[in-house]
Structure 1
């Protein structure tokens, strides 16, 4: 085999690896695995609209005394994000355990935090909090966080306002509640890096038959 034939085949192989390189250079993605979401309810405001906090069940200790109750992040959580720009490419949900009761008869909880970019209007970030126990409605939109910290293993999203949704306002029979602040929240989570996509490997495997064919033609 001539040097020119080897050079041609090597060039094809190099091109394949160059095609793969951008995939390997993509920003890392992470998944939330555990942690706690701490919530402060504005009890005086809630009481003024007929919601009196009367208890909780299966909750955890909040991150600090600034909050009233904590909801443990469930292993069923599949919320992922990228570190591009600090926090992007959001998908999946953060599942929680724990419930709170108002007026000794309305129990909500096992909250699911998800993301919908179409909800990112006015002061909302696109993140939302949904009850999965009784009402099965999105109760609050979450504001953009006042601050956020991420070190590759720990994620803190703090100073988040809980904004009444139209669904919750409708349930309470008061449309003027839409967008009003019902409390604040903070998410403290442990995260792991999502394994690198296998797409690059699949691309290389798919390229092998092509390389073999080119080799046979030039020999």
Structure 2
């Protein structure tokens, strides 16, 4: 059997297999690639009540929606992944941000990182935390996610994320009783991209090989 005949058989067989093989619908994995995390205006008033007045900011962006207080750009260092199983199931990684805010002309915090912190015991917290990476390098808020996320395959929105003062931040503020205090609401509006599964990559390679084999066989027939 000549190579051209073998290549034709392989190409036809692979194509036939792909056409009749049952399609399995599995949960897909996605990665956050950009977007904005916004803080509502009530956050400023609540912090004022415990002695923190917003006096400045750097590298912030327009919040979503526009009536929120401030927005922080989701940075390219983000490696947060999730599955669309059940609508939205977090898997791993963090959401990194740029931008800082200044309180009382003295305390600058920002370049926030949102991710999991196992073992958090604050009441009503989800295990997800917001950490300052600019100056204090500590968890500022435990996050309570009460509303379901909205996901359409390209955009992820997590609304009504409640900010609860962390034990670490309460200690810095000199008042441990502030632990768990509701300090406002955040909202995450992110653009995402699908993460190729290993099986999917192999399927694409197999399909490409079959196509090349078929073209090679057709060309040999044409010129033989």
Q: Normalised by the shorter chain, which TM-score bucket?
A: 0.7 to 0.9
CA distance in structure 2 between the aligned counterparts of 1:45 and 1:87, rounded to whole angstroms: 30
Residue pair 2:80, 2:93 contacting (<8 A) in 1 also: yes
Aligned to 2:39: 39
Aligned to 2:7: none
Q: Deviations over 1:62-116 (max 9, x none)?
A: 0123310000000111000011122224210000000000001100000000023
Aligned to 1:65: 66
CA distance in structure 2 between the aligned counterparts of 1:118 and 1:90, rounded to whole angstroms: 17
CA drift of 1:168 comes to 0.3
What pairs up with 1:3-42 in 2 under 5 angstroms? 26-42=26-42
CA drift of 1:192 comes to 0.4
Aligned to 2:184: 183
Aligned to 1:142: 143
CA distance in structure 2 between the aligned counterparts of 1:54 and 1:147, rounded to whole angstroms: 33
- Give 5+ residue unaligned stretches, structure 1: 1-16, 202-219
Farther off after superposition, 181-190 or 119-128: 119-128
CA distance in structure 2 between the aligned counterparts of 1:190 and 1:65, rounded to whole angstroms: 18
CA distance in structure 2 between the aligned counterparts of 1:72 and 1:48, rounded to whole angstroms: 27
Aligned to 2:81: 80
- Indicate whether 1:94 and 2:95 are aligned: yes
CA distance in structure 1 between the aligned counterparts of 2:133 and 2:199, rounded to whole angstroms: 34
Aligned to 1:216: none
CA drift of 1:135 comes to 0.3
- Give 5+ residue unaligned stretches, structure 2: 1-16, 203-224
Q: Secondary structure at the match of 1:170?
A: helix
Q: Secondary structure at the match of 1:183?
A: strand
CA distance in structure 2 between the aligned counterparts of 1:30 and 1:142, rounded to whole angstroms: 22
CA drift of 1:120 comes to 6.9
Residue pair 1:159, 1:186 contacting (<8 A) in 2 also: yes
Q: Deviations over 1:169-205 (max 9, x none)?
A: 000011111111111100000000001125995xxxx
Aligned to 2:127: 126
CA distance in structure 2 between the aligned counterparts of 1:137 and 1:116, rounded to whole angstroms: 11
CA drift of 1:139 comes to 0.4
CA drift of 1:146 comes to 2.3
CA distance in structure 1 between the aligned counterparts of 2:59 and 2:172, rounded to whole angstroms: 25
- Indicate whether 1:155 and 2:156 are aligned: yes
Aligned to 1:108: 109
Q: Deviations over 1:124-154 (max 9, x none)?
A: 1121100000000010011113242100100
CA drift of 1:122 comes to 2.6
CA distance in structure 2 between the aligned counterparts of 1:66 and 1:118, rounded to whole angstroms: 35
TM-score by length of 2: 0.75
